[in-house]
Chains A and B, each alone.
Chain A
Amino acid sequence: MLYDKWWKILAVILFIYILFFGILIPLKPGILNVSPSRFNAGDQVSVKVEGYNSFFLKEAELWRAFIKIDSTHSLQAYEINVISDTELSSKFNIPANLPSNLNLLSASFILDHPKSGAMLIPSKIILSQDSINLASAESSWLNKTKLKLHYRSSFEFPYRNILYETIRNTFYHVSLWFAMFIFFGFSVYHSIKFLKHHKIEDDLKSNALVNTGILFGILGLLTGSLWARFTWDTWWTKDIKLNMSALTMLIYIAYIVLRASIQDIDKKRRISSAYNIFALVAVIPLIFVLPRLTDSLHPGNGGNPAFGSDDMDNVLRMVFYPSVIAFTLIGLWIASLKYRLDYCSLKIEDIDE
């Protein structure tokens, strides 16, 4: 008996694992804010840094700070004063000229420590200059050798600007979408089987999987909307991937409406199976092709990388992949319950007749 249920036990274990590790593993230290962030060339400035999950007081004398324009041009702070574990100030002498033909330039701010590793806030600093002198700028900014940063190897989730603690939503939002597509894929497999062999069980399985897929899709939209509220400061945007996902839900809700509208049971099964195949194939360009042709806020679209080192590291992967498996197994469990319920109802109807 236990042999048959191994996948359900696995689903529960994995779900507890992702809840436990997904919430308890801390984030790596990062820079929350730097102020002021706008400087003129030639200024002597003091930059106040606000850290997140940071321990600035630990071996405080080893901290280094940099303003980095590009891979070869950067400037190191000449003095650092640690105020608390999450606050420090760094002083810079901004050279009289910038290594660029432009009057305005954005730069990243970097903090580095042998034990805490490097932390970065990208494009936060805005530098301006009145006159351009590249030769003079090159000598004062070109210090590639000094910019040897440290890497912190620890069992922590990466710190990403904008995302902060919401990076943990990757285990729920993304996994729910992954699982949803797996269900839709399986449902198409059963639809094709039904159209080929006309076995009612296949239609019921397909229907159960579509319903579970819709449930997961709606949960995916809700978790996505919640995530958007924290990171993009809005519940909903005109982002193409977001809207195409909503359309995907509408396409599948149409499947439910179609099934409910046809009275003839045989026709209902045949037509909804054919529509199910159409729906999945129609969804592929909506979700995987169109968002890549235009700008999108989502990783993996509009030229953004997905699942690259910028978005995921190995610690995240250790929770993310089990979460995909867990949600898939839980969904299959829900679908199997729905299938059994429908099958029993069908049998009861047969007995009544």
Chain B
Amino acid sequence: MTSYFLLLLLGMNWHHQVAALIRRDFLFEWRNLYQIGAILGFMLGVSYIFYFYSGEISARSWSLAYWVSLLFLSFFSGGKIFESDLGECRFYSFQLINPFIHFISKSIFVIIELYIYSIMLWLVFWFLLPFKIQFGIQWLALLFICISTIGLIISFASYISMSATGKQILISILSLPIVFPILGMGFVIGMQLIEPNINFNFIKSIYPLLGIQFFCMALLIFIIPLIWKS
């Protein structure tokens, strides 16, 4: 294992490969514009339902609606990331590239994609359910930390569900219990950013989230090579 990582870090230009794979994924995404359209449609639909039925919306219900919508978005975008690799790019993705690099590129792609979606969702919510977030920069930082952890977990769930039947449901079953506390923390801290109380300390409140994120990263670095290694 150690020799593998040394090889990965010193011997190969892995960052070029990762960048190329992320570019390829974005290209595929761009060629399938209907998928982005569908996700945008989902965002508008959900926020319109909240706008139409919620009446006087509180910080709590706004935050809850936002994070639940984001959870579904994560499942939509994370569930399909290995789809293209199982079809026409199968040989390229599973024979020519180091599986670890493959996984890293997919995770980074999901994180970037989800971050863009989360900001889009925020804008859609801002348009239909206007609610002022007092600390915009902190909100963006919170979104990034939560999404990078959720993205990692969903990529992992998607990776191990590749060869299973009923992939989409399995991804939800595998990732939901682990994503739940992250989403919960995002919801609670998000509410504080909308209506802060005197004792609220943003930096202190994100420590557990950062802890979980680094923990997930460390764990996946250890586990992912075990999955394909024969």
CB within 8 Å of B: which residues of A? Answer: 195, 198, 244, 247-248, 250-251, 253-254, 257-258, 261-264, 267, 270-271, 273-275, 277-278, 281-282, 285-286, 289-290, 293
Contact = CB atoms under 8 A, between A and B. Distances in A.
Interface of B: 156, 160-161, 163-166, 170, 173-174, 176-178, 180-181, 208, 211-212, 215-216, 219-220, 222-224, 226-227, 229-230
Nearest to B164: A261
B166 A271 contact: no
8 contacts: A251-B177, A277-B219, A277-B223, A278-B219, A281-B219, A282-B219, A285-B211, A285-B212
A250 B164 contact: no
Contacts, number: 75
B160 A274 contact: yes
Given A251-B178, A254-B173, A278-B219, A261 B161 contact: yes
Contacts of B215: 281, 285
A278 B163 contact: no
B208 A195 contact: no
B181 A247 contact: yes
A72 B219 CA distance: 53
Contacts of B156: 278
Contacts of A257: 170, 173-174
B227 A274 contact: yes
Nearest to A264: B163
A261 B166 contact: yes
A273 B177 contact: no
A294 to B, nearest CB: 9
Given A254-B177, A257-B170, A258-B160, 14 more contacts: A247-B178, A247-B181, A248-B177, A254-B173, A257-B174, A258-B170, A261-B165, A261-B170, A271-B163, A274-B160, A275-B160, A282-B219, A289-B208, A290-B208
Contacts of B161: 258, 261
Contacts of A270: 226-227, 230
A271 B227 contact: yes
A244 B180 CA distance: 9
Contacts of A250: 176-177
Contacts of A278: 156, 219-220, 223
B169 to A, nearest CB: 8
A278 B223 CA distance: 7
Contacts of B216: 282
Nearest to B205: A293
A224 B5 CA distance: 45
Contact of A293 (B174, B208, B226): B208
A184 B177 CA distance: 17
Nearest to B170: A261
A282 B227 contact: no
A305 to B, nearest CB: 22
Contact of B226 (A195, A251, A290): A195
Nearest to B160: A271
Contacts of A290: 181, 208
B99 to A, nearest CB: 12
Contacts of B219: 277-278, 281-282
A336 B180 CA distance: 33
A206 B212 CA distance: 26
A277 B223 CA distance: 8
Nearest to A278: B223
